[in-house]
Amino acid sequence: MACTPPFDIVFFGGTGDLALRKLIPALYQAHRAGLLHADGRIFALGRGAQGREDYLRTLETRVKPRLGADFESTTWADFRDRIDFLQLDANRQADYAKLVESLGLDAQRITVCYLATAPQLFITICENLARIGMNHPNIRLVLEKPLGHDLQSSNAINAAVGECFDENQIYRIDHYLGKESVQNLLAIRFGNTLFEPLWRREWIDHIQITIAEELGVEERGDFYDHTGALRDMLQSHLLQLLCMVAMEPPSSLAEEAVRNEKLKVLKSLKPFSVEDVLGKTVRGQYRSGAIRGAPVPGYREEPHVAPDSITETFVALQAEVMNWRWAGVPFFLRTGKRMQERVAEIVIHFRPVPHALFHTPFNLQPANKLVIRLQPSESIRLYFLAKAPGDAMNLQSAYLNLDFHTLFKARHADAYERLLLDVIHGRLALFMRRDEQAQAWVWVEPILACWQQHGIAPKPYISGSWGPAASSGLLSRAGVVWHEEN
Ligand code: BG6
């Protein structure tokens, strides 16, 4: 990847968890790889009264363990020269003048304003930026998810932000789109002749998309208890993955072409009726249990979570994309915290052969699966049946494995690094357009409304399990099971 042009990047929420855990480490990695222009500055903004040195000390303490062997003292010393800390209260107009003073308002300079704050502050920050002229065409605005709490609040944010910035200045981030395997999914689908003819209802039985986390809500109990898994993960990450799997070939890789195709998928999602919500969605909440042998508390015992909370930490559902390519093919999506394993994957299950020549045990069906793994490691596996050595015609499941780390020795950029570089370079293709995001809300809202109106409380599941039993039930009604790597 080419080195960036000169830039400034301003992190609102610069002392927050995301900046310390993901964003600044991602920039460090880009710096270490020589991908940042020497004239690239980083401004972390925070409300607290602390000096630059204090900030850098905290930053280093947080970043070092995350970077492990990649933390090199001399590289870090170089990198920290780029960083400044500014005290700014997003609600105080006067503080923005200090920001301009530190940055120097240069309309030719690429300046990224990254809003890693609570969404309630987005409108205020944008209005204040516009007031001081920090909305000129070279300003790029990054909006972290969740963008609002529902369609109405997300529309309100988008409308107000749209008053201050052009749509092509707005980068709505979904870090899952920056993951290498997601882009590889496009490469294998549209760069090869092998898969595309099979990528349709005639040959695909069903599709599963799983994002399972071992982590609980950590320090984010307050945020999470008002959000839940459907808003936090499904409305964004899982639907974006579904779009990547289901979309038609775009006319080019230009941002509008890709985004138009994704929007068509979102518009083709079958709306949920009340019966669908009751029969095809599963809500869960973790109880205490063990993760990798260590005991962990239940969700309701987590800090800042209501002791009688009915927020879901798990959701599974069956979706359908109503178009010529996908009509009748179930898409099973699930995500949860405190699950047995950290894994994110898309599994394409192909149909069984039309006539069974061989006796294949039930656990070997369906024979053909394509497993696109995003986490913990990135790979694409194609499963098929092969004859096991010996006299008898005994079939065995085998796979071709494309392990990106082994195959391509090159360094793999983490999703945030990739996306931050895209913003500096001005590439919008991997960011969500306003209409895409609104459409995702349109689709999930009836689920939220039905859960609330019918008092659907989440089903408990033990931490370290695969979620409530009802999640397996959802699939077994369709005669299938969740994919588990063997
Ligand atoms: C974030 C969610 O968007 O994604 C978190 O808000 C979640 O709740 C995280 O833990 C998962 O991201 P990753 O890349 O670690 O799978």
CA-proximal residue: ligand 1, atom 8 (nearest)? 232
Strands 110-115 and 83-87: unpaired
Cβ 174 under 6 angstroms from ligand 1: no
Torsion on CA atoms 269, 224, 372, 428, rounded to nearest 10: 70
| Residues 161 and 218 reside in one and the same domain | no
Last residue in a domain, options 113, 143, 172: 172
| Residues 203 and 263 reside in one and the same domain | yes
| Residues 240 and 387 reside in one and the same domain | yes
| Residues 205 and 68 reside in one and the same domain | no
Tens-digit pLDDT profile for residues 445-456: 999 999 999 999
Last residue in a domain, options 172, 204, 227: 172
pLDDT at 322: 98
Counting ligand 1 atoms within 8 A of each CB, the residue from 213, 222, 302 with the most, and so the one to mutate, is: 213
422 within a domain of the structure (yes/no):
no
397 within a domain of the structure (yes/no):
yes
Q: What are phi and psi of 53, to 5 degrees?
A: -65, -40
| Residues 12 and 107 reside in one and the same domain | yes
pLDDT at 1: 73
Rounded Cα distance, 118 and 255, in Å: 27
303 within a domain of the structure (yes/no):
yes
What is the whole-number distance in angstroms between the Cα of residue 177 and the centre of ligand 1? 12
Q: In this structure, are residues 440 and 267 in contact, taking their beta carbons and an 8 Å threshold?
A: no
Question: For ligand 1, what atom is nearest to the CA of residue 344?
Answer: 16
| Residues 24 and 156 reside in one and the same domain | yes
Active site residues: 237
418 within a domain of the structure (yes/no):
no
Query: Can you list the residues of the chain whose pLDDT is less than 50?
Result: none
Rounded Cα distance, 88 and 97, in Å: 10
| Residues 202 and 298 reside in one and the same domain | yes
| Residues 71 and 183 reside in one and the same domain | no
Rounded Cα distance, 456 and 448, in Å: 10
Counting ligand 1 atoms within 8 A of each CB, the residue from 232, 305, 418, 437 with the most, and so the one to mutate, is: 232
Last residue in a domain, options 115, 147, 172: 172
| Residues 283 and 303 reside in one and the same domain | yes
pLDDT at 239: 98
Q: In this structure, are residues 119 and 150 in contact, taking their beta carbons and an 8 Å threshold?
A: no
426 within a domain of the structure (yes/no):
no
206 within a domain of the structure (yes/no):
yes
CATH of the domain at 181: 3.30.360.10
What is the whole-number distance in angstroms between the Cα of residue 308 and the centre of ligand 1? 24
CATH of the domain at 39: 3.40.50.720
DSSP string, 233-302: IIIIIIHHHHHHHHPPPPSSSSHHHHHHHHHHHHHHBPPPPHHHHHHHEEEEEEEEEEETTEEE--GGGS
Q: In this structure, are residues 348 and 198 in contact, taking their beta carbons and an 8 Å threshold?
A: no
Q: In this structure, are residues 452 and 277 in contact, taking their beta carbons and an 8 Å threshold?
A: no
Counting ligand 1 atoms within 8 A of each CB, the residue from 237, 337, 374 with the most, and so the one to mutate, is: 237
pLDDT at 364: 67
pLDDT at 361: 72
pLDDT at 460: 98
370 within a domain of the structure (yes/no):
yes
Domain limits for position 366: 177-412+433-476
Rounded Cα distance, 417 and 293, in Å: 33
Cβ 232 under 6 angstroms from ligand 1: yes
| Residues 283 and 156 reside in one and the same domain | no
Tens-digit pLDDT profile for residues 122-143: 999 999 999 999 999 999 999 9
pLDDT at 486: 54
Sheet containing strand 83-87, strands side by side: 83-87, 40-46, 7-12, 110-115, 139-143, 170-172
| Residues 293 and 213 reside in one and the same domain | yes
Instruction: Give the total number of structural domains in the chain.
Output: 2
pLDDT at 431: 95
| Residues 158 and 194 reside in one and the same domain | no
